[in-house]
Amino acid sequence: MQIDKDLVAASATPLVLAILAEGESYGYAILRRVRELSNGELDWTDGMLYPLLHRLHRLGYVTTEWRTPPEGRRRRYYAVTDGGRAALAEHRRQWETVTRALRGIWRGGDLLSFAFGRA
């Protein structure tokens, strides 16, 4: 299944913020988590994550720090801020409203086809 580009773009911010809300992380690991969460169906172009992280940083939603873990290479780590958490909560409210509306109409449709299918 190919997910529509606009939908991928719209969900990118809440997804990244939610992943960072689980704990600080770095670019490559964030993308791995996105693939894992969507069973590989949300296919991002890897590079595009970084401009997004830039934007989140500029808006003050995340903080960044270059660090070298005991084993491994030097990486830029991102951590969510309180502002980021507030933005995430707002995103969440909006997405829940959208999915609720969609679920409502689709469940109704299913019931109808179910009823008519029986008849």
Partner 1 sequence: MEQVELEIAEWRAFIGQDPALDGRDVEELETHLRDQIADLTTAGLAPDEAFLVAIKRMGRLDELSREFASEQSGRLWRQSVIADGGEQEQADSRWVEALVFAVAAAATIQIARLAAGFPTEQASWLTLNASLFVLPFLAGYFARRRGLQMRDSLLTAAPFLVSAVVINFYPFVAGGSTELLVAAHLPVALWFVVTYPYTSGVVRSHERRMDFVRFTGEWFIYYVLIALGGGVLLALTAFILEPTGVDAERVIDWVLPPAAAGSVIVAAWLVESKQRVVENMAPVLTMLFTPLFAVMLVAAIVVYVVTGLGDAFDRDLLGVFDALLVVVLGLVLYGISARNPSASPGWMDRIQLVAVASALVLDVMVLGAMVSRIGELGFTPNRTAALGLNVLLLMSLAGTAWLSARFLTGHSTFNRLERWQTSYLPVFGVWAAAVVVILPPLFGFI
Please identify which residue in 5, 40, 45, 70 interacts with partner 1, judged by CB under 8 A. Answer: 45
Spatial distance between the Cα atoms of 13 and 102, rounded to a whole number of angstroms: 21
69 binds partner 1 (CB under 8 A): no
Q: Is 10 helix (H, G, I), strand (E, B) or coil?
A: helix
One character per residue 5-34, x = contact with partner 1 (rule: CB under 8 A): ---------------------xxx------
Closest CA to 20 of 54, 48, 61: 61
58 contacts 50 by C-beta, under 8 angstroms: no
48 binds partner 1 (CB under 8 A): yes
- Residues making contact with partner 1 (CB under 8 A): 26-28, 45-48, 50-51, 54-55, 57-60, 73-76, 83
